Amino acid sequence: MTAHQPKPSRIDWLTLLIYAILVCFGLVCIYASVFKETHPHIWDTSQNYGKQLIWIGVSSIVGLMILVIDEKFFFAFAYFIYGFSIILLIAVLGFGTTVNGSSSWIEIGGFRMQPAEFAKFGTALALAKYLSGYNVNFEKNRKVQIISALLIFTPMLIILLQNETGSTLVFASFIFVLFREGLPGWILLAGFTFIVLSILALLYPPVYLIIGVSILAVIFLLLVRRTRSLVLITIGAVVVAGLFVSSIDYAFQNVLQAHQRSRINVLLGKNVDIKGAGYNVQQSKIAIGSGGLWGKGPLQGTQNKFRFVPEQSTDFIFCTIGEEYGFAGSVAFIGFYVFLLYRLLLMAERQRQKFNRIYGYSVVCILFFHFLINVGMTLGLMPVIGIPLPFISYGGSALLSFTILLFIFIRLDANRVNELRTAFD
Amino acid sequence: MRSGEKQITLLIIFLSVALIYIARLFYLQVIDTSYVYFAQNNVLQEQTIYPARGLIYDRNGELLVYNDAIYDLSVIPEQVKNLDTLAFCNVLNLTKEEFIATFARLRRQKGYSPWRPIVFQRQITIPTYAAFQEKLYDFQGFFVEVRTDRKYKHSNAAHVMGYIGEVSEKQIENSNGYYRMGDFVGQSGVERTYEKVLGGVKGTRYVLVDSKSRTQGRYKNGEFDTAALAGKNIHLTINLKLQQLGEALMKNKIGSIVAIEPSTGEVLSLVSSPTYDPNLLVGRERGNMYMQLLKDPYKPLFNRPISAPYPPGSIFKVIMSLMGQQEGVLTPATSYGCHGGYLFVGCHPHGSPLQLRGAIAVSCNAYFCQVYRSVVNNPKYKHVEDAYQKFYDHAYSFGMGHQLGIDLFGEGPGVLKKSTYFDKIYGRYRWQALTTISMGIGQGELGITPLQMANATAAIANKGYFITPHIVKKIDNKSNPNPSFNKKNWTSVDTGYFQVVIDGMQDVVEHGTAYIARIPNITVCGKTGTAQNPHGKDHSVFFAFAPKENPKIAIAVFVENAGFGATWAAPIASLMIEEYLTGKHETRKYLLDRMLNADLIKRNDSTSAKAK
């Protein structure tokens, strides 16, 4: 078998274009959100936009390097990369710099990096490699399922220990990948039900919920053909739901930290504390809401310019879009982002190698999860969890890791033609 | 589920999230407009531009009140860096403890923000300001704000001008949101009654601020800003020189002087003694000084001439003479004998019997008790109440028993009882003139403010009418700012009855009880009073107008617990008249000196000690 160099034309230029547009738009938004009259130049490296510009350069170079590396490299070094990111994560636990309460940063020469960002594509690579192995059947083999879960939970746990809830939750996005690879739909549904139940449990006393679930179960049993096992399963589900609902309340009061409790309360609209925990969300909604239909225009957002929204250039970057470009701009942005996700989904599905496909799905799901939480948070629909909006938010290591994440996939995708050719050789 | 279906499931999840978010955005940005308002609230800060307060002049254009720059030391705590606390404390003359305590106090203040300027020390002195300005560079975060405060060029007429102070919560409530916490408004005197004129109109400037309340620029280039309208200047009717003499004469005496120009009702002088220097009630010590003045046993803050009711004493006999004639129970030829008094009302020795003019001249108690009796026990009326009502109406028409409506804050009504008052005490139809006989000589249930007395004098000088006394002559250099002060208020006594009374008052000065009040070449008409009162020695009272033909000044002088009217009040009034009409006291230097130097407060103290 002869090795074939991938033809450059096979690189998915459309995705690269979308990436470029998003990154440039992100830079414009960062510029708008931290703009100071005293530092008007976008290449002023003392400001966030100047720093971001440097990071864009770095990311481009790294991205370019990835595109010229042999695609087999990623398959071969998947476990190594995964292992290295785990070591980094553990190292951070010991020597990390604490920023905003989470000790998840490594500081090198003035630039801070967050290993958790790199653990994302490390995990994606490792999971893809493991599941694409011979005789590995995720659907049927219990052992495979457990190992997959371990691959995901290990970095999750370390990141949780670093007090970095946001990044921890991002790993939940792998559930969609596993769903694609054969995880039964009911687990996804059960997970969703549990989320709904948890929210309800925080809003209402558990007794009401248990009664409600029981009534639903009775109605369900009346409507379907009752087999013995179905009745048992239903009763079991009700009992589990009851226990779950009761334990949520306990966990909320005893396990969660005060600031997390208050964030959840704010989200649920329980005690909206405009000055305290609710401040971010309230200001975020004000900024977005005041944008109106057409927005205030670039650099015209008063809420932005005058720093009413905290973390404006990082976690709350969507406020800039909402305020300065209005409803029209926000819809266009969301449309554009979903188009990227759709494009990546198509690309993932067209992969012939399992490794490529699983990795592709990981990329889509990680990006989607960030989008879901980040934008939902600025709109007051999701709890305030500090995770960036990929390619848009300010943050060097985030941009770099998302670039690596995406470009590895573009590189893998570019090879599919060569695989075809190999097949016909 | 096949893999294709799974892909579609994921796509559907993506699209539903996108749709939910778009719906949410539509709600936030298009449907709910309140966020636009919130955003404006965030960035728009309304700043008040304070107008310059109007100046106050006397009737001759002499400046009395102006605005002076004061310097507040402010600080933006967040910007304080590398402060040399010791040097800072030295400049401000503070101890380190005071410095720390001040900062702690600022931090506790409502609405404290380290990014917002806050006053560190109010009204630093000019030397401190100068010293501070030199070292400003060393004290980062501190800066000096210039404001204006009232400054009084002369230390006179404190009670007329009043003072300004921070608005009370009630005033804020009543102002429909015009006043804000910390605004200064007139709290008494002209400053208060003419607050709207002097105060001007505040302007507003809209600026954009960031989340730390730092100014970032004008809102829409000042399109919505309104300019401040400076307060208007006021000319008082007060004659400064006359006022100064009045205050000098009343020094170390307790009492009042009110001088009115009879033809216009303009108040020429309004002296309340003891007085205070109005400059005490400005500046950083305002609060302390105010408390000190409030505690002073002689009540310097009390505006005696317009609010204190005194028993008028014998000067009321003039009013009695007028109403007796009007009621037809008295003619200039009516004569009563004096047997050293009337019932329990005593009288001093003088010739007897006397006709009306003579009775006024010697101030015969018995005579006026007879007049009072004939007015109140007038057989023309079926009941004593109806006759007394006539007495009441006449006195009322001279401005007694009610507020005259002077344009000053805190005017008192005096005391003039209705018949129902006596009904309550004695029972209906169970009392008559003799029951209340002392009112005939200005004692008993009568209280009259010096202003009312001066006003009554003006009415006599005008032979039957007065013009409501007022204190403001011009606003913004326009005369006659308040047309209601042009109206002639006619008394209920016909003009024809006044001549004999005026002649009698002339006699008082020429060869009667107030001989001392005679002024060479000027015919003064006056009447002394020695008012008994429950507080000690008699009040010395005198009222007069001059010249007799074409009166230019009507004056009432009350000196509390000083003794005979002729001893103190009459000479003081006379000197005032002379000052106003001639500006000289050449022939009566001795009298002027004696009056200026007399200390009746201390003497009173010694007599009260003796009484003990």
With CA atoms as reference, report the closest residue to B262 among B547, B477, B523: B547
- Under the banding of pLDDT at 50, 70 and 90, the label for residue A103 is low
d(CA B184, CA B164): 6
Specify the pLDDT at position B68.
83
Residues of B in contact with A351 (CB under 8 A): none
Share of chain A above pLDDT 70, in %: 84
> How is B421-434 classified by DSSP, letter by letter?
HHHHHH-TTS--GG
Residue B487: strand, helix, or coil: coil
Q: Cβ of B28 and A305 within 8 Å?
A: no
d(CA B287, CA B351): 58
Residue A425, pLDDT > 50, answer no
Chain B neighbours among A 334-373 (CB < 8 Å)? 334-335, 337-338, 341-342, 345, 349, 364-365, 368, 371-372
Chain A neighbours among B 24-63 (CB < 8 Å)? 24-26, 28-30, 32, 34-36, 38-40, 42-43
Three state DSSP letters for chain A: CCCCCCCHHHCCHHHHHHHHHHHHHHHHHHHHHHCCCCCCCCCCCCCHHHHHHHHHHHHHHHHHHHHHCCCHHHHHCHHHHHHHHHHHHHHHHHHCEEECCEEEEEEECCEEECHHHHHHHHHHHHHHHHHCCCCCCCCCCHHHHHHHHHHHHHHHHHHHHCCCHHHHHHHHHHHHHHHHCCCCHHHHHHHHHHHHHHHHHHHCCHHHHHHHHHHHHHHHHHHCCCCHHHHHHHHHHHHHHHHHHHHHHHHHHHCCCHHHHHHHHHHCCCCCCCCCCCHHHHHHHHHHHCCCCCCCCCCCCHHHHCCCCCCCCCCCHHHHHHHHHHHHHHHHHHHHHHHHHHHHHHHHHCCCCHHHHHHHHHHHHHHHHHHHHHHHHHCCCCCCCCCCCCCCCCCHHHHHHHHHHHHHHHHHHHCHHHHHHHHHC
Q: For Cα atoms B272, B274, B276, give the angle at the middle one, nearest 5 degrees.
A: 90
Handedness of CA B310, B313, B319, B320 (dihedral sign): positive
- Under the banding of pLDDT at 50, 70 and 90, the label for residue A42 is low
Three state DSSP letters for B56-124: EECCCCCEEEEEEEEEEEEECHHHCCCCCHHHHHHHHCCCHHHHHHHHHHHHHCCCCCCCCCEEEEEEE
In CATH terms, the fold of domain B43-58+157-236 is Penicillin-binding protein 2a (Domain 2) (3.90.1310)
Q: Cβ of A306 and B43 within 8 Å?
A: yes
Going from N- to C-terminal start, the domains of chain A cover 9-67+275-399+417-421, 70-159, 192-254
Distance from CA of A285 to the nearest CA of B (A): 7
Residues of A in contact with B18 (CB under 8 A): 334-335, 337-338
- Under the banding of pLDDT at 50, 70 and 90, the label for residue A278 is low
Of A290, A349, A376, the CB nearest to B35: A290
Specify the pLDDT at position A102.
63
Residue A268, pLDDT > 70, answer no
Residue B570, pLDDT > 70, answer yes
Specify the pLDDT at position B363.
86
Q: Cβ of B25 and A322 within 8 Å?
A: yes
Helix B569-581 with B589-597: angle, nearest 10 deg: 120
Of A85-94, B206-215, B336-345, B513-522, the range with the lowest mean pLDDT is: B206-215
Using CA coordinates, name the residue in chain B closest to A283.
B39
Residues of A in contact with B5 (CB under 8 A): none
Q: Identify whether the C-beta of residue B246 lies closer than 8 Å to the C-beta of residue B257.
A: yes
Distance from CA of B150 to the nearest CA of A (A): 38
Of A33-42, A130-139, A377-386, B224-233, the range with the lowest mean pLDDT is: A33-42
For the residues B318-342, what does the mean pLDDT come to? 88
d(CA A263, CA A272): 9
Q: Are strands B345-346 and B341-342 parallel, antiparallel or unpaired?
A: antiparallel
Specify the pLDDT at position B606.
41
Specify the pLDDT at position B612.
34
Share of chain B above pLDDT 70, in %: 96
Q: Identify whether the C-beta of residue A20 lies closer than 8 Å to the C-beta of residue A361.
A: no
What is the ipTM for the molecules in this complex? 0.85
Average pLDDT in chain B: 85
Q: For Cα atoms B548, B549, B551, give the angle at the middle one, nearest 5 degrees.
A: 70
CATH number for the domain formed by residue range(s) B69-147: 3.30.1390
Which of A138, A286, A382 has the highest number of chain B CBs within 10 A, making it the mutation to test binding with B? A286
Phi and psi (nearest 5°) for A401? -70, -35
Work out how many CB contacts closer than 8 A connect A with B. 114
Q: Per mean pLDDT, which of A32-41, A415-424, B288-297 is the most reliable?
A: B288-297
Q: For Cα atoms B470, B474, B480, give the angle at the middle one, nearest 5 degrees.
A: 70
Q: Cβ of A303 and B43 within 8 Å?
A: yes
In degrees to the nearest 10, what's the CA dihedral of A72, A74, A80, A82?
A: -150
In 10 A of CB B368, how many CB atoms? 31
Q: Facing residues of A171 across strands? A: none
Residue B313, pLDDT > 70, answer yes
For the residues B394-406, what does the mean pLDDT come to? 92
Of B11, B17, B29, the CB nearest to A291: B29
Q: Identify whether the C-beta of residue B102 lies closer than 8 Å to the C-beta of residue B164.
A: no
Q: Cβ of A293 and B30 within 8 Å?
A: yes
Using CA coordinates, name the residue in chain B closest to A375.
B21
Q: Per mean pLDDT, which of A397-406, B91-100, B110-119 is the most reliable?
A: A397-406
Residue B576, pLDDT > 90, answer yes
Using CA coordinates, name the residue in chain A closest to B23.
A331
Q: What is the pLDDT of residues B230-286, one digit of tens each?
A: 889 999 999 999 999 999 999 989 999 999 999 999 999 999 989 998 888 887 778
Of A208-222, A259-273, B102-116, B549-563, the range with the lowest mean pLDDT is: A259-273
Which of A272, A284, A299, A308 has the highest number of chain B CBs within 10 A, making it the mutation to test binding with B? A308
Of B20, B25, B210, the CB nearest to A306: B210
> How is B575-590 classified by DSSP, letter by letter?
HHHHHHHTS--GGGHH
For the residues A104-129, what does the mean pLDDT come to? 80
Specify the pLDDT at position A159.
86
Chain A neighbours among B 211-230 (CB < 8 Å)? 211-212, 216
d(CA A121, CA B257): 97
Burial tier of B69 (Cβ tally within 10 Å: 0-12, 13-18, 19+): exposed
Contact of B130 with chain A, judged by CB distance below 8 Å, is answered with no
- Provide the b/e sequence for B28-64 (b: ≥16 CB within 10 Å): bbeeeeebeebbeebbeeeeeeebebbbbbbbeeeeb
- Under the banding of pLDDT at 50, 70 and 90, the label for residue B18 is very high
More confident residue, A410 or B68: A410
Q: What is the pLDDT of residues B130-157, one digit of tens each?
A: 888 777 777 877 878 777 788 888 988 8
Of A363-367, B346-350, B443-447, the range with the lowest mean pLDDT is: B346-350
Continuous segment of H or E residues that includes residue B369: helix B365-376
Chain A neighbours among B 174-213 (CB < 8 Å)? 208-212
Domains B43-58+157-236 and B240-611 share a fold: no
Residue A140, pLDDT > 70, answer yes
Share of chain A above pLDDT 90, in %: 22
Residues of B in contact with A185 (CB under 8 A): 1, 9
d(CA B167, CA B178): 11
For the residues B585-596, what does the mean pLDDT come to? 86
Of A305, A322, A334, the CB nearest to B18: A334
Of B6, B14, B39, the CB nearest to A302: B39
Distance from CA of A264 to the nearest CA of B (A): 19
Residue A189, pLDDT > 50, answer yes
d(CA A66, CA A57): 14
More confident residue, B540 or A244: B540
Residue B291, pLDDT > 80, answer yes
Which of A176, A180, A302, A340 has the highest number of chain B CBs within 10 A, making it the mutation to test binding with B? A302
Distance from CA of A7 to the nearest CA of B (A): 28
Distance from CA of A82 to the nearest CA of B (A): 26
d(CA A377, CA A263): 11
Of A183-187, A331-335, B294-298, B517-521, the range with the lowest mean pLDDT is: A183-187
Q: Cβ of A349 and B3 within 8 Å?
A: yes
Q: Cβ of A289 and B212 within 8 Å?
A: no
Of A237-251, A260-274, A386-400, the range with the lowest mean pLDDT is: A260-274
Domain B240-611 falls under CATH 3.40.710.10: yes
pTM, entire model: 0.65
With CA atoms as reference, report the closest residue to A177 among A215, A204, A151, A212: A151
Which of B1, B29, B30, B210 has the highest number of chain A CBs within 10 A, making it the mutation to test binding with A? B29
Chain B neighbours among A 293-312 (CB < 8 Å)? 293, 302-303, 305-308
Contact of B21 with chain A, judged by CB distance below 8 Å, is answered with yes
Residue A21, pLDDT > 80, answer yes
Using CA coordinates, name the residue in chain B closest to A373.
B17
Average pLDDT in chain A: 81
**How many residues does the structure list for chain A?**
425
**Eight-state DSSP code of residue B147:** E
Of B11, B21, B28, the CB nearest to A285: B28
Specify the pLDDT at position A1.
43
Specify the pLDDT at position A95.
73
Residues of B in contact with A290 (CB under 8 A): 35-36, 38-40
Q: Cβ of A307 and B10 within 8 Å?
A: no
Using CA coordinates, name the residue in chain B closest to A318.
B25
Specify the pLDDT at position B170.
85
d(CA A121, CA A361): 11
- Under the banding of pLDDT at 50, 70 and 90, the label for residue A423 is very low
Q: Cβ of A345 and B11 within 8 Å?
A: yes
